[in-house]
Amino acid sequence: MEFTELDKKIVRALQDELPLVAEPFKLIAEEIDSTEDEVLERLQLMRKSGALRKMGAVLKHREVGFAANALCVWVVPDARMDEVAVIMCRHGAVTHCYDRNVTPDWPYNFYTMIHGSSREECEAIARQLAEESGVSERQMLYTGREWKKTSMSYFI
Amino acid sequence: MKLELTALDKKLLNLLQGKVQLVPRPFQMIGQELGISEEQVLARLQVLKEEGCIRKIGAFFNSDKLGYRGTLVALKVRPELMEETALFINQFPGITHNYQREGAYNLWFTLITPNERLRQDILEQIKALPGVEETMDLSARKKYKINVQFNLK
């Protein structure tokens, strides 16, 4: 979809927090001199085109019981990439799956974020992913200190 | 977080992580599914937010579709200079996540930029830091899944 000036205004107004009021989109519309119908219509288009990935909540996962978090990186043969991705994406405990560049001293090309209540749980999930996909070469990079975690601010 | 999540809280948070409908009264719809009123949904969400179990309720956009480019960068940082390195990296608005990880590459950040010039400029500044020994720019070739959803039971 083509991004209009109105769309950019909508993105700017909505990228932080959805107001916790009965009619949040009406409030947003008033802020940007638009109408509720127009805002909802544009958002539906954005959702359809994939520009709006999600409207909803993201939890502080460490606070709600997911204490162990690992970036598990794998070496997947390029020819098997799509097939392996389907297998790994099926798991609810895996929130991100990316195919990424390699470098001369870094052969890992497939990235999965795994979340569990403990390291043992993360290890068990990784073992299961390995068995189901047939990919054995992996490394678990556990998350330590989180120095920064925010959402991107677009069009500012 | 001091608050103990009730069964209803968990149902509410599970629903809310999935999809807030693009309708005039989205919280009323969530209330209908849970058998509670719109006011109760809003009041409870306010509490859950104040208690610190929600990072954000709102819109999440796909940077690629908005004309931005994202990447993941891994650094080998000298441990004694970790804090000052991490804090320097934090200052850039396009750096949205910056985490320490176990392993030889011990600091990992995501960078989202609207143009190549800014991207290069930020990466050059970071590479030049005294604590940074190695840098890997791990751009995505394909994104298969982004679904940050935690099923609370």
Q: Where are the domains of chain A?
A: 5-49, 68-142
- Encode A83-114: b = buried (16+ Cβ within 10 Å), e = exposed: ebbebbeebebbbbbbbbeeeeebebbbbbbb
Element (H, E) at A141: strand A138-149
Residue type for position B21: Q
User: What does the angle CA A32 – CA B112 – CA A98 come to, to the nearest 5 degrees?
Assistant: 120
A58-72, B23-37, B93-107: segment of lowest average pLDDT: A58-72
Nearest one of B53, B66, B7 to A57, comparing CA atoms: B53
Contact A17 B56 (CB under 8 A): yes
Q: With an 8 Å Cβ cutoff, is B13 touching chain A?
A: yes
Looking at the predicted complex, does its ipTM rise above 0.90?
Answer: yes
Q: Which of residues 48-67 of B touch A (CB under 8 A)?
A: 49, 52-63, 65-67
* CATH annotation of B63-137: 3.30.70.920
Q: What is the CB neighbour count within 10 angstroms for residue A48?
A: 10
Task: Name the band, by pLDDT with cuts 50, 70 and 90, for residue B151.
Answer: confident
Helix (H) or strand (E) holding B20: none
For domain A68-142, the CATH architecture is: 2-Layer Sandwich (3.30)
Mutate to test the interface with A, among B11, B101, B126 (most CBs of A within 10 A): B101
> Which tens digit of pLDDT belongs to each residue from B103-122?
999 999 999 999 999 999 99
pLDDT digits (tens, 9 = 90+) for A122-139: 999 999 999 999 999 999
Residue of B nearest to A43 (CA): B22
Listed by number, the residues of chain B in 79-138 with a beta carbon closer than 8 Å to a beta carbon of chain A are: 86-87, 89-90, 93-103, 105-106, 108-109, 112, 136-138
pLDDT at B147: 85
